Amino acid sequence: MNRIGFVGLGSMGAPPAGRLLPGNQVDGTNRTRATAAAPVEAGLSWRDTPREVAAAPRVVFSMVTDDAALAASAAAQLRAVSDGLPLAESGGIDEGLAAETMTGPAIGSAMLRARAVLDLPEQARFDVQLMHKDIRLALGSARESTAPLPAASAADSGPSRAEELGYGHRDIAALFPVLAAAPGSPPNPAGAGPEAA
C-alpha cells in the first residue's frame, strides 16, 4: 500500500484524492475541513496542517490557489507570450493571430486569454502592482524554504519595468507592450497611457 499526501481538497483536489483512496493510504488537509468532508468520509486520513500531510508519504500532491504562486505563474506566462508576439510579427505573422494562437486551449490558460488583449483596458481587473507584490511574496517564501523559483525570478523583471514606466495601477495586460518594447525604449501600447485608469 502506498502512502500519499494531498494538500488542497476543494473542488480541484477532492476528486483526484478520492480516486487515489482505493489501495492507498491518503493523508490530506484543506484550509476548511468542511470542504474535505467527502474524501474524509471515503477514508482519507485528515491532518491539520500541510506539514503533517508531508511527514510520512513518499508523494504529496498540492492543489492550492495560493495567490502569490498563481501570480508568479501568470507573470511567467505573460512573459513568454510577450516575447513571442514580436517574434511572430517579425516573421510576418499577424499580431492578432499570434496572440490567439499563443493563448488558445492547447498551450494557453484562461488567464492568458483574458489578458492577451492588444488594446490595454481602461479598468484594471488585476493591476501590475498587485501582481508584483504577489511575485515578491512567492520569491520571499522560496528564499525561506530554499525552493528555487527560476520562472518567478525571471518574470519579476516585467512588473518591475512596468512600475518604473508608470503602469503600476494598470491591468496586467500592460505587461505585453512593456515587455515587447526594446530595452531603453518606451512601450507603445494601444489604448491610454500608463496611469490613465
Q: What is the DSSP string of 86-110?
A: HHHHHTT--HHHHHHHHTSTTT--H
Q: Which residues pair with 119 in a beta bridge?
A: 190
pTM score: 0.53
Q: Three-state DSSP class for 124?
A: coil
Answer with the residue of higher pLDDT: 41 or 103.
41
- Phi then psi for 23, rounded to 5 degrees? 85, 0
196 pLDDT above the threshold of 60: no
Q: How much of the chain exceeds pLDDT 90, in percent?
A: 15
Q: Which residues pair with 27 in a beta bridge?
A: 5, 45
Distance CA 50, CA 163 (A): 35
Contact in structure between 39 and 21 (CB atoms under 8 Å): yes
Domains, the chain: 2-62 (3.40.50.720), 67-180 (1.10.1040.10)
- If one counts every other C-beta atom within 10 angstroms of the C-beta of residue 87, the result is 11
Look up residue 25 and give its amino acid: Q
Look up residue 38 and give its amino acid: A
Note the pLDDT tens digit of each residue in 18-30. Answer: 999 999 999 998 8
H-type helices in the chain, by residue range?
14-20, 37-41, 50-54, 67-90, 95-102, 110-115, 128-145, 150-155, 157-164, 175-180
Distance CA 189, CA 180 (A): 10
Place of cell 470542504: 35
Note the pLDDT tens digit of each residue in 72-128. Answer: 667 777 777 777 777 788 888 887 888 777 777 655 666 666 666 566 778 877 788
